[in-house]
Structures are given as C-alpha cells and as structure tokens.
Structure 1
Amino acid sequence: MAKSKKTFSSKPSGSLTPWLGIAAVIILLDQLSKITITKLFKYGEELVVTNFFNLVLAYNRGAAFSFLSNESGWQRYFFTAIGIGAALYIIYLLRKHAGQRMFCWALALILGGAIGNVIDRLLYGHVIDFLDFHWRGLGHFPAFNVADSAICIGAALFILDELRRVNK
C-alpha cells in the first residue's frame, strides 16, 4: 500500500476549532499571569530573578516599545480598534486556511496575543507588562507579557512558513 502524503492546500479542509482553542489557551495564560502579577506587585515594583531577568509591574498605554504611550488617551481606542480588526481578519484567514498547520499556528498565537492585550486596554486603559530582560549594563529591553510573547512567536512562525512556501 502506498502511503498518502499530506499536502498544504489553501482550501478550508480543517476545522476552525483547534485554532480558536490555541488562541483561548494563550488568552487564559496571559490574563492569569497578569492577574497574578498585579496581585503580587505594586506598580513599578521589581523582583530580580537572574542577572538578566526581572519581574516588574509596568503599564503600557501605547503599542510595542511604548509607541504613542505619552499621548492624551486616544491611543487606547485606536489600538483597541486595531486589535479587534486584526482578530476578525485572523479568524477569516483561519477559516479560509484551516488545513495549513504552521500558518494557522502562527495566526492562532497572534490572535490570542492580540485579544489578550485588547482585554487589558478595555478593562484598564493600558496593557500590563511584567517580563523584563536586560544584558550586562546595556539597558533593559522594554517589559512585555505573555500576549506579546505569543505575538512574536506567531510572527516568527509566519515568516518561517512563508520562507518554506517560497522554497517549495
């Protein structure tokens, strides 16, 4: 008997459910970690964990790297709208390409991260960040959270998937 080979098609051959489940797990982990950090830390409080990593409670009213964080407040609604729009578009893409595993993993991680940060903006008016990496006096990388991590991993998978697709 010949073994059938799995192919990656753009036809909606898979279910949307597992991808939404992955996004839901990311949202849950993100929100639980943020609730925990806000219960254990005061704003600005820092706990040194290693010589390159701290936990710190920080708020970001802007976007990545605190972009537009010093504005008057309109950015809250702007970034919330972008997050909701991105989530709706990602759900459309997941439905359309549900059979493409790596592509959908990437989208599910980005979706979970985007919704996690939208929840913060809606509830608090800012995103809660707490992971603080730094290296030998070269300064601190901006603090981030589980949602941001999922978005970055999803973006890396998306790039890897595109490079793989181009090489075929």
Structure 2
Amino acid sequence: MRLVGITALAIFVLDQATKWWILHILSLDTRGVIEVAPPWLTFRMAWNTGINFGLFSGQADLTRWVLIAVAMGIVLFVLVWLRRDPPGVPGLIAGGVLIGGALGNVIDRLVYGAVADFLNMSCCGIDNPYSFNVADIAIFVGAAGLVLFPGDDNSPPARRKKRA
C-alpha cells in the first residue's frame, strides 16, 4: 500500500503544480488561450463544474458537492479493493495514479469551485473543443491500468474460494 500512496502523492503534486503554473505563472485564466504547438497542443482555459465534457454542469454548487462525494467514495472504494485483493505492482501503481488524479480534481472543486482544465489537443483536421488536465489523464490511465493489471490468481485455494 506504500507504493499506492507514493504514486498517488506524485500524481497529485504533478497535477496541482501544473495547474498552479497555468493559473499563477501563465495567467491562463485571464488570457484564455496560449498556442503551444498548434493544433497538437494548445493551452485553453476551461472551468469544468460538471464531469467529462462538461456533463452535469448545471446546478453548479449542488453538483460540486455531489461530485466531491462521488470522487471521495471512489477513492475509498479503490483503497479498500487494493487492500483486500492486492494486485501486482502494475495494479498498485495504477490504483495510485487513479487516486492521485481523483484527489487533484477534488482539491480544484474545493479551492476554485470547479476543475481547472487547460490541455487541448487536436489533430488531423479534427478540432477538439474540449480541454482536460493531468488529473483527468491520471484517472483514465489508472482505471485502464486496474482493468489491464488485475493481478494474478496465485493466492492460496482457501482465498480463491472466497473470491468466486
């Protein structure tokens, strides 16, 4: 579980550091857009009060607290799951990545009232209107990692029967 904590902390710090840099050094919240390597990478400020793609962004204050509670519930669920049925090292890292990303977005909702999204990527004639952040990437990668690296079933026979 120590690996989960270290990984979660690293992702959380990376996420918050990039948001601090974007907001307090580059002042993207007032500038709106900074073209870094168009169209592949643009910093485009978006305050997301909902979930992915701005879904459920109405009733901002109620949605904010519901999404904080849901994120914390997911973090708790993943922690319990990893503790009860620990996967291998890749699975533990994936769990930490997911938890770090989820906590990064929770802090945004607590501090700013919305999630600070700023990465925008387009390619091949497709203009992507949506922005995301490091925490969003971490949540996706962590969830995919938990699916792809569930661990092996080399547990003792008595434990295997409990799982089935």
Q: Tell whether the structures are fold-level matches, with TM greater than 0.5.
A: yes
Aligned to 2:132: 144
**For 1:68 and 1:117, how far apart are their aligned partners in 2?**
16
Q: TM-score, normalised by structure 2?
A: 0.83
**% identical equivalent positions:** 33
- The root-mean-square deviation of aligned C-alpha atoms, in Å, is 2.0
Matched ranges for 1:81-160 at <5 A: 81-98=69-86, 100-140=88-128, 142-160=130-148
The DSSP-based 3-state class of the residue aligned with 2:47 is strand
Higher helix share: 2
Aligned to 2:157: none
- Residues 60 and 69 of structure 1 are in contact (CA less than 8 Å); yes or no, is this contact kept in structure 2? yes
**For 1:160 and 1:82, how far apart are their aligned partners in 2?**
23
Please report how far the alpha carbon of residue 141 of structure 1 lies from its aligned counterpart in structure 2 after TM superposition. Answer: 5.0
Please report how far the alpha carbon of residue 148 of structure 1 lies from its aligned counterpart in structure 2 after TM superposition. Answer: 0.6
The DSSP-based 3-state class of the residue aligned with 2:149 is helix
Q: TM-score, normalised by structure 1?
A: 0.81
2:35 maps to a residue whose letter is V
The DSSP-based 3-state class of the residue aligned with 2:128 is coil
Query: Can you list the C-alpha shifts for 1:52-79, whole angstroms capped at 9, x where unaligned?
Result: 2101222100011111113342110010
Alignment equivalent of 2:5, drawn from 12, 16, 20: 20
1:47 equivalenced with 2:71 (yes/no): no
**For 2:36 and 2:28, how far apart are their aligned partners in 1?**
17
Question: What runs of 5+ residues in structure 2 fail to find an aligned partner?
Answer: 154-164
- Residues 15 and 104 of structure 2 are in contact (CA less than 8 Å); yes or no, is this contact kept in structure 1? yes
- Structure 1 runs of 4+ off > 6 angstroms? none
Aligned to 1:66: 54
Matched ranges for 1:24-43 at <5 A: 24-39=9-24, 40-43=26-29
1:161 equivalenced with 2:162 (yes/no): no
